[in-house]
Structures are given as C-alpha cells and as structure tokens.
Structure 1
C-alpha cells in the first residue's frame, strides 16, 4: 500500500487534484456507524493531522459521550527545513501550542505527545507500535483506533498507519484509517485506493465551523513564516479546501 512515489510526483505547490473534480464525482459511500465505539484514539503523525482528518468526528464523538484521546506522534519540527525564521525546536514549540489551541476550539483533550522524530517515523515504527500497544492495551472493549491511512502517500502517514495496524492486531482494538494527502495525489477511481472500504461521516454545520476554527490555529502551516521560499505554507488554500468538506472519510 506504499504510495509515496505517487505523492512525490505531485508537489503540493502544483495543486494536485482540484476539489471541483472530487465534487463532480458521484460515487456514493456508506455512512460510518459510531454506535459501537466506546473509546476513540486518534493517532496523528504531526500536530494538525488529527484535526484535518477527523476533527469533526472527534467533536461529534465527544458530544455523544465517547471517550476521545489524541496521540501526536511527532511535534512537527520538520515541516519547514531550511527556514531562516524558525529553528526546528522553535517550530516544534509553536506547533505544540497550536495543537492545544485547536483542541480547545473543539473541546477535545490535549494530545498525548510521543515526541518521535518528524520525517523519520518509519525508522522508529517498532517503538511507535509498542507505545500505541501500551495505550490501546489499557482500553476497554469498543475501543477504536483511527490512524492515517497506510497508503496515504506521505511517508510519516504511512509509517504511522502501519504501526497502528500492528498495535490494533495485537490488542484487539478496531482500526479505522483516515486519508489526508490521498485527496491530493489520487483521482476518482484511482486503482491504488481501496474505495470499497471508504465510509463517510457527515458534519453538521456547527461542527464544520468548529473544525475550520481549529484548523485556523495552525498558523505555521497555513500562513507563510516569512517571504523566504523556505517559509511558504505547507497547507495552501487548495489543500485546505479538500480537507474542510461537509464530511470526513475513513477506510474500514
């Protein structure tokens, strides 16, 4: 399921597949049933992935009485290599603060931080699987673990998904996987995407607005750090448009 080459072939600045193309695609998908979920552990490779992928779902789950826990694998210090404005340590600090503010916007718990190295999760995949095992092993029946999809394209996203799948297999937690960068490099009916496994979660207007407000907290990712080329946004408007839909998606 490794799709990193497909992701690498479509730089973010090139725009990827426009949201208009996805909106014109008329393939229907079933709605995810959360009724059997008692605890939802959302695993994010970087601070913001939990919001971009499942922020609305996290809010809806919290409102319905589901115990939600966010696990941030890294502190996101590698998002702007070569930045003349912020050091890696300074960027990590900024991103930790941003994720706390985003959680406050949604009313979800502050993320648990594993502090593995951003950009090198694959090397630490065994450690990540073990630490997720510890988190999930303490969980009651009805625990779901939502991680970035193992085929999402970004190497950290795929490595996180693989580690989460192993932890779920070892603990009995139910694995669901959310795509983030898939919407950038893939196209409707792309053969590398398991569309038959896709489910949606419809977001009420107020939930979508809260998610949007949470995303706006990640200023280091959606705004330039400076005018320098190395400081440009990681999530330009065309990328955010694909992630701020009226629904969220998971593979089950």
Structure 2
C-alpha cells in the first residue's frame, strides 16, 4: 500500500507506542507535509514502578522528554503533540466522570483537528491500557460526530501468536502492509530515543522492551488494520 494523502491523528496509550506502531507512517506523512498530530492517553508513570530508584511518577518527565525527542526525529513539532495524562495502567478503572472527561478531551481534539484518519491500538492488543484506549477513541469519535477512517496498529497482539493461539482470524480483517523502507532509519532512531524503555536503567536491570521483542518493529514495513466501521 502507498501512503495516503489524508491528515492523521495517532493515538497512543503510552509514550513509545506511537513510534513502535506508526513511526514509519508518521515520518512518511511528515515528509509529504501531510498534517499529523499525536495524542498520548496515559502519563507513562507505571514504567519502572518496581524499581527502587524511582518513586511514583518520577519516570513521567523522562518519558515525556523522550517522546518529544523521538517525535522530533520523525519531524513532529511539540505543537503537534498532546498529553492527556491519565494514570498509566489504570484506564479500565476510571470512574464514570473521569472516563467521560477523557472522552470529551479526545473529542475536542478530534473536532479541532478533523483528522481524515485516526490510528489507534488494536482492540485486541493484549494490553489492558491498549484495549481501553481503543474503546475511548471509539466513544470519542462517536461523541465528536466527525467522519474519519479508523485504522488499528498492533504492539503486543502478535507476541508468540504462532504458539499461544490468542490471535483470531477476525483480528486480521482489513490488514494491509505499508512500506516504510525509505524512513526505516528515522524510525529506528526514534525508537532508540526511548532509552528508558530500550536500554537497561542500570547494571542490575533488564530493558523494559527486549531486543527480541523490538525486532518486529525494525522491519521495512508496518501493518495496519482498517475498520469499515467502529467495532465494539
């Protein structure tokens, strides 16, 4: 598939999901001066919550700076980036008021930008925050009443998919492959900008994202799943 000329909003649960799933897409759109905006749903605070070096929330400014750096490599300016800052790991536990506020924040961004395409984590992406993000975007699009194409990207869905049997044929519906070979180096640099996730935080720790896991994101293409309609 060739890159479309449609404006795009990429919605990511955490800082790094946007580059892993859509880094090539973002860079390709920017090179063609196609309008792009990126929205982060959570604050990323749960990363390294187990580590004695980090008190609750101390990783947040680090991940925010990494996001700004990574996206700048792809050509994205700070004015194109939005942080909603919901609590990392707790999207499924928002109360009704908090949930509605998040939906309305997303809807305002959608109404203001009027993206012709919205990219969001797959509704069966095997991560609670990722699947909750899909549902929030689903409701925000309906609330905003805008018309847009919705495409899903997978981060965790394909991990061990040949052996664990969790990927269903219906999950693969609407799949297409986008060549990103011409911006592959930019995507690699952007992933590496997330050093808190890409590298061990100290000599005693392993990296949050292993090299074997990251291999799937260093390919010369990205896979997306287009929806004919918003699905529950």
TM-score normalised over the length of structure 2: 0.86
- The answer on 1:91 being equivalent to 2:59 is yes
Q: Distance in 2 between matches of 1:193 and 1:32?
A: 24
How big is each residue's C-alpha offset from its partner over 1:61-94, in whole Å with a ceiling of 9 and x where there is no partner? 1122211001111221102222112223221111
Q: Distance in 2 between matches of 1:220 and 1:144?
A: 30
Q: Determine if contact 2:30/2:74 at 8 Å carries over to the other structure.
A: no
Tell me the residue number matched to 1:182: 157
**Over aligned residue pairs, what C-alpha RMSD do you find?**
1.9
Q: 1:171 aligns with which of 146, 155, 165?
A: 146
Q: 2:133 aligns with which of 133, 136, 160?
A: 160
How big is each residue's C-alpha offset from its partner over 1:162-184, in whole Å with a ceiling of 9 and x where there is no partner? 11122223322221111111121
State the 4+ residue runs in structure 1 displaced beyond 4 angstroms.
Answer: none
Q: Distance in 2 between matches of 1:99 and 1:227?
A: 24
- More contact order relative to length (CA 8 Å, sep ≥ 6): 1
Q: Distance in 2 between matches of 1:185 and 1:43?
A: 25
Determine helix, strand or coil for the equivalent of 1:194.
helix
Tell me the residue number matched to 2:190: 214
Q: 2:13 aligns with which of 18, 22, 45?
A: 45
Tell me the residue number matched to 2:108: 134
Q: Determine if contact 1:32/1:200 at 8 Å carries over to the other structure.
A: no
- Unmatched runs of 5 consecutive residues or more in structure 1: 1-30
Q: Distance in 1 between matches of 2:162 and 2:100?
A: 32
Q: Determine if contact 2:124/2:171 at 8 Å carries over to the other structure.
A: no
- Shift, 1:32, TM fit: 5.8
TM-score normalised over the length of structure 1: 0.79
Q: Determine if contact 1:77/1:88 at 8 Å carries over to the other structure.
A: yes
- Unmatched runs of 5 consecutive residues or more in structure 2: 227-232
Q: How many residues are matched? A: 216
Q: Distance in 2 between matches of 1:214 and 1:100?
A: 10
Q: Distance in 2 between matches of 1:96 and 1:166?
A: 26
Matches within 5 A, 1:7-156: 31=1, 34-35=4-5, 37=6, 39-110=7-78, 111-124=81-94, 125-140=99-114, 143-156=116-129
How big is each residue's C-alpha offset from its partner over 1:101-146, in whole Å with a ceiling of 9 and x where there is no partner? 1012111133211111000112334333221111111234x62111
